[in-house]
Homo-oligomer: A and B are copies of this chain.
Amino acid sequence: MKVLVIGANGKTATHVVRLLAAGAHEPLAMIRDPGQRAKFDDLGVATVLADLEYPIDHAVKGCDAVIFAAGSGGQTGKDKTVLVDHIGAIRAIVSAQVNGAARFVMLSALNVDVNSQSRIAHYHRAKAHADNHLRETDLDYTIVCPGLLTDDAATGKVAVSAEVNGQGPTSRENLAAALVGCLDLENTVRKSFSLLEGDTPLDQALRSV
């Protein structure tokens, strides 16, 4: 499959692109800034310039799958959380529907809720709105909900659950492997699951969701 990675320059997404490039699928790295291109050129990975605040159909067209790994991050205002994590994600979902990219893997988070009262409620609400929108489509979606992201090396051992609340660490490398792994596992379609560090080999865990 040709797989568009949205937010490709992020830490987790860069791992995603590397794993895809080493595997059977063909990644297309969606980046916002031409200055981010060199990294992907070095990986031999094609890039497409697109911005979630603008139409992205030119990026999605011709792709079979989307991995949505974009995020406005903690350094921007709450307006960007709505523009990127909420309506930017919905825009990507609509573009996947219109352009026939039927497989959609969403990088979400634990504890997202449209009525969140958490310390980062604006983020948890935005993510929940996007996830809920995705669930109402007929796309072959998977929603992966990690905990606190770490830069620890992949252990290849995780814990998954259909219960997408809670807390704990998730290494970005394990997370990236899960996002990519879902593409080949039919059982993950139309599922949401939490992903934390744990004791179960990743592939076995993904097959259990």
* A interface with B by C-beta (< 8 Å): 53-55, 77, 79, 82-83, 86-87, 90-91, 94, 97-98, 129, 133
Please tell me if the beta carbons of A86 and B82 are within 8 angstroms of each other in the complex.
no
Residues of B within 8 A of A133 (CB): 82
Contact residues of A: prevailing secondary structure? helix
Residues of B within 8 A of A90 (CB): 82, 86-87
Instruction: Determine the distance from Cα of A91 to Cα of B90 in the docked complex, in whole angstroms.
Output: 12
Residues of B within 8 A of A86 (CB): 90
Please tell me if the beta carbons of A79 and B54 are within 8 angstroms of each other in the complex.
no
Contact of A83 among B53, B83, B94 (CB under 8 A): B94
18 A-B pairs in the complex with CB atoms less than 8 angstroms apart: A53-B54, A53-B55, A54-B54, A54-B55, A77-B98, A79-B94, A79-B97, A79-B98, A82-B90, A82-B94, A82-B133, A83-B91, A83-B94, A86-B90, A87-B87, A87-B90, A87-B91, A129-B129
